[in-house]
Structure 1
Amino acid sequence: MDIKKGNKVKIICGKDKNKEGEIIEIDRKNFRAKVKGLNMIKKHVKTTKEKKGGIFEKENFLNLSNLSIISTSKKEIKKKEAKK
């Protein structure tokens, strides 16, 4: 089964072990994915004319080998139900 954006996954190891979330971004070249609300890091942003600076939290990439698929996206589930 292929991991896609929108799939619900469970983290197998690391600081967020046994937590679940939805994939929001995939980097297939580097074999990594971002999971919504998990593996948070602090990003220091410098103030510019357009944006206010500060310390922001954002998701960081996880290796795909540390993820386990729980369920596929809602669209795929609807397609499977329609075929039955």
Structure 2
Amino acid sequence: MFDEEEDDFLIGTPQSKFFDILFHANREIVKNKLLQCIDRYNAMELLLEHHLGEEGFEKEIQATLLEQSDAILERNQDLFITWMGDILSQNE
């Protein structure tokens, strides 16, 4: 059977666990991961803007957020899990 500490680890969503790790892991590791995420986000924005134009890019993002919300939520959960692994493996 699980003891209380093991049970606490199993409770929560990938998002809540990600934020727990963010707030307790090495600050420099977390800062670097967040900067990587921001760089990646901005690179994707530039690509979309280049291919769709500034107005088309905003419209496409809004449409995608509405039409594919389930897929986005699923990808978010996958990213939280991946990023947790990245942060924890560097934090050891």
TM-score, normalisation: structure 1: 0.27
More strand by share: 1
TM-score, normalisation: structure 2: 0.26
